[in-house]
Chain A
Amino acid sequence: MSTVEVRDLVKHYDKVRAVDGVSLRSADGEYLVLLGPSGCGKTTLLRTIAGLEQPTSGQVLIGDQVVNDLPPRARKIAMVFQSYALYPHKTVLANIVFPLKAEGMDKRAREERARWAAGLLGIEHLLDRKPRQLSGGERQRVALARALVRQPRVFLLDEPLSNLDAKLRASARDELKRFQQEIGTTTIYVTHDQTEAMGLGDRIAVLESGTLRQIGRPIEVYDDPADTFVATFIGSPPMNLVPRDGRLVGFRPEHLLPLELGAEDRVTLKLDVDRIEYLSGDRHVYGTATGLGEPTRVIARLPATVLTPIEPGRTYDFSIRGEKLRYFDAATGRRTDPP
């Protein structure tokens, strides 16, 4: 187990600034999720930590030791690739023992360890198969077993669930979390899927265009986004942003509720409803909000327990609890204090 830290990390490919000055540090045993849209530099950051890419500048530290000059194998970290990258000509068992073989462990000991890892992931019955004879979910487990068998200091996972279908993804996510809690190894997990990030991460680092926008616990990045990018990237539907006097007033769709449900400290507004969607029992109400700032299209998410009748084409009174409002600078998008 170990900490992972990057300091002012920069990685440029010719003109592309894939990673543009990122500093972050994981705690020992932490599950840190790198979240960001496709192309924001997540994979590049992970590969630089792994040692597969040399940083243009900046430092990578593992266990408080600078590892910039160490080759991947000396960093004692394991990586699960997006494609899993199993050795197609080797059996599952041979795939899993490969890292141990490279370490020079003797045959008996390494098979024992491989069986232990396979047992942990429930793939003992697949050991004699070749990767091509496995389903996507099974391949993912083999890749995990291969990463785990060496008992590395750090796990790096690059979108390991993106090749699975939606249903399998949910159960695999659950398993991944339990599994990490069991073995307690520091893990850096890359994804573009906020549901995965919120569900798995002890903390989430939100990246955009090669820069770190915010790092914090899931509830922090959700409730207290550092800027409008985080506010709108996380949450589904995203945070509503209403321009007012050079600022943006932000609030989550679930906090915009019909007036009669509002508590004490509240601000009111009128919602000109034009469309309603039913999703998993909730009602997503689309409309134009007036009275809070400039008229803006917003979304309200009413849980199934709210029974207020609402129809498209009419205007309703809605309210938001004052403590749920967030303020951003309209020019920079950064969070500002309440006025």
Chain B
Amino acid sequence: MTGGARRTLADREGALAWLFMLPSVIYILALVAVPFALAVALAFSDVTVGDPSFDWAGWANFARNFDDPVFWRALGNTFLFTAVSMLLIVVFGKILANILVADFRGKWLIRFLVLLPWTTPVALSAVAWLWLLDSIYSPIDWVLRRIGLIEGNLNWLGEPTLEMVSVIAVHVWRLTPLAAVIVMAGLVAIPREIEEAARMDGAGFWRRMFEVTIPLTLPVIAVAALFGAILTFTDMTVVYVLTRGGATHSSEVLASWAYIRGISGGDVAQGASIALFLFPLLLAAAIAILRAVRRMEVT
């Protein structure tokens, strides 16, 4: 090292990197790692609200879950809820994204309407939906009656199949705008000349969509779908607001069931074990999708 030209902290990229990452490391430790470790510990304990003393319970909580038909029902519903919602959200998100990027008169109004569900506070939209799906006063029923598709009323939030339909519909309604914006970001990143080259090469609308647009936006869609799936898998807002899981647990999902057992019912350990059940699955899904995306980028 020559005199005067001393290495300063700013030259040491390794140390600097750690310094800059420190706040996020602390944040992740405090808000993610610690609660997660706590949940793992609770799942293997017998802690309840009435008896908060920590005693090791081994796999007992998990074993009890496996004997509980409501747990299985909730697990099945969770998969159904996630799979159907994500499918619909990706398809609708893609369609809406195409509308968002299209150039036509009055596009600002359409864009505003598309983004509206996303900007509406959940509490507000939930009230609106409760009314829309009301067993007596539902405007949806009224319309269906008017065009002669049904007689009488549909019990949107009380009949097992309709409950799932309602829950999925509201969830799709809520997340589709977000998906549309993400897909739109992917779409506008495609160079215009590539799209035009495909037109010159004689590709029609569907061929352009499936051979050019979708492959080029696939990494974005995959990441968005991963986040969406995890959000959906762990979401209980819609279920809780609309049906509270249903009288016979017909629209129960794992998150709502964990909440009902752990918080409402006071059996914290049991609730933790239900919530934790999803973790290995989500982790595997996350790793699989991120690796797939990486492979798509490299080759």
Question: Closest approach, in angstroms, between the C-beta of B216 and any C-beta of chain A?
Answer: 6
Chain B, residues 190-202, CB within 8 Å of chain A (1/0): the string is 0101101111111
CB closest residue in chain B, given A78: B200
Interface residues on A, range: 20 to 34
Bound Cα distance from A99 to B203, whole angstroms: 7
Bound Cα distance from A153 to B38, whole angstroms: 71
Let me know if A99 and B215 touch, CB within 8 A: no
Let me know if B202 and A52 touch, CB within 8 A: no
Question: Closest approach, in angstroms, between the C-beta of A83 and any C-beta of chain B?
Answer: 5
Q: Is A10 an interface residue (CB 8 A)?
A: no
Let me know if A83 and B203 touch, CB within 8 A: no
Q: Which residues of A contact B203 (CB under 8 A)?
A: 73, 98, 102
Most buried by A among B191, B194, B200, B216: B200
Question: Closest approach, in angstroms, between the C-beta of B204 and any C-beta of chain A?
Answer: 7
Q: Which of B175-223 contact A (CB under 8 A)?
A: 191, 193-194, 196-204, 207, 211-212, 215-216
Question: Closest approach, in angstroms, between the C-beta of B236 and any C-beta of chain A?
Answer: 38
Bound Cα distance from A99 to B196, whole angstroms: 13
Let me know if B194 and A103 touch, CB within 8 A: no
Q: Which residues of A contact B204 (CB under 8 A)?
A: 73, 102
Q: Is B299 an interface residue (CB 8 A)?
A: yes
Question: A87-B212, A89-B215, A102-B204 given as contacts; is B193 within 8 A of A72 (CB)?
Answer: no
Let me know if A102 and B201 touch, CB within 8 A: yes
Let me know if A71 and B199 touch, CB within 8 A: yes
CB closest residue in chain A, given B212: A87
CB closest residue in chain A, given B190: A88
Let me know if B194 and A87 touch, CB within 8 A: yes
Let me know if A77 and B200 touch, CB within 8 A: yes
CB closest residue in chain A, given B195: A85
Question: Closest approach, in angstroms, between the C-beta of A105 and any C-beta of chain B?
Answer: 11
* Partner among A81, A103, A150 whose Cβ is within 8 Å of the Cβ of B197: A81
Let me know if A79 and B200 touch, CB within 8 A: yes
Question: A52-B199, A150-B202 given as contacts; is B299 within 8 A of A85 (CB)?
Answer: no
Q: Which of A62-107 contact B (CB under 8 A)?
A: 71-73, 77-79, 81-83, 85-89, 98-99, 101-103
Let me know if B216 and A52 touch, CB within 8 A: no
Q: Which of A190-226 contact B (CB under 8 A)?
A: none
Q: Which residues of A contact B194 (CB under 8 A)?
A: 85-88
Let me know if B202 and A79 touch, CB within 8 A: no
Bound Cα distance from A230 to B209, whole angstroms: 45
Q: Is A146 an interface residue (CB 8 A)?
A: yes
Q: Which of A101-132 contact B (CB under 8 A)?
A: 101-103, 130
Let me know if B215 and A79 touch, CB within 8 A: no
Bound Cα distance from A243 to B211, whole angstroms: 61
Most buried by B among A78, A83, A89: A89
Q: Which residues of A contact B196 (CB under 8 A)?
A: 52, 72, 81, 85
CB closest residue in chain B, given A83: B193
Question: Closest approach, in angstroms, between the C-beta of B220 and any C-beta of chain A?
Answer: 13
Bound Cα distance from A207 to B203, whole angstroms: 32
Bound Cα distance from A32 to B197, whole angstroms: 21
* Partner among B193, B202, B212, B215 whose Cβ is within 8 Å of the Cβ of A73: B202
Chain A, residues 41-72, CB within 8 Å of chain B (1/0): the string is 00000000010100000000000000000011
Bound Cα distance from A77 to B201, whole angstroms: 9
* Partner among B193, B207, B211 whose Cβ is within 8 Å of the Cβ of A85: B193
Let me know if A73 and B191 touch, CB within 8 A: no
* Partner among B197, B198, B216, B299 whose Cβ is within 8 Å of the Cβ of A130: B299
Bound Cα distance from A88 to B219, whole angstroms: 13
Bound Cα distance from A99 to B212, whole angstroms: 13
Q: Which residues of A contact B201 (CB under 8 A)?
A: 73, 78, 98-99, 102, 146, 150
Bound Cα distance from A98 to B194, whole angstroms: 13
* Partner among A72, A82, A103, A150 whose Cβ is within 8 Å of the Cβ of B199: A72
CB closest residue in chain A, given B207: A102
CB closest residue in chain A, given B194: A85
Bound Cα distance from A174 to B202, whole angstroms: 29
Let me know if A99 and B193 touch, CB within 8 A: no
CB closest residue in chain B, given A79: B200
Let me know if A85 and B216 touch, CB within 8 A: no
Q: Which residues of A contact B296 (CB under 8 A)?
A: 89
Bound Cα distance from A140 to B6, whole angstroms: 48
Bound Cα distance from A73 to B198, whole angstroms: 9
Let me know if A72 and B216 touch, CB within 8 A: no
Q: Which residues of B contact A99 (CB under 8 A)?
A: 201-202
Let me know if A88 and B193 touch, CB within 8 A: no
Let me know if A72 and B215 touch, CB within 8 A: no
* Partner among B197, B207, B211, B299 whose Cβ is within 8 Å of the Cβ of A79: B197
Q: Which residues of B contact A71 (CB under 8 A)?
A: 199
Question: Closest approach, in angstroms, between the C-beta of A160 and any C-beta of chain B?
Answer: 13
CB closest residue in chain B, given A143: B197
Bound Cα distance from A88 to B202, whole angstroms: 18
Let me know if A85 and B199 touch, CB within 8 A: no
CB closest residue in chain A, given B196: A52
Q: Which residues of B contact A52 (CB under 8 A)?
A: 196, 199-200
CB closest residue in chain A, given B197: A85
Let me know if A83 and B202 touch, CB within 8 A: no
Q: Which residues of B contact A86 (CB under 8 A)?
A: 194, 197
**A-B pairs with the 3 shortest C-beta distances?**
A85-B197, A73-B202, A85-B193
11 additional contacts (CB under 8 A) given A87-B194, A89-B296: A72-B196, A73-B199, A73-B201, A73-B202, A78-B201, A79-B200, A81-B193, A82-B193, A85-B191, A98-B211, A102-B202
A-B contact pairs, 15 of them (CB 8 A): A52-B196, A52-B200, A72-B199, A73-B199, A77-B200, A78-B200, A78-B201, A79-B200, A82-B193, A85-B191, A86-B197, A87-B197, A98-B201, A99-B202, A102-B203
Enumerate chain B interface residues (CB-CB to A < 8 A): 191, 193-194, 196-204, 207, 211-212, 215-216, 296, 299
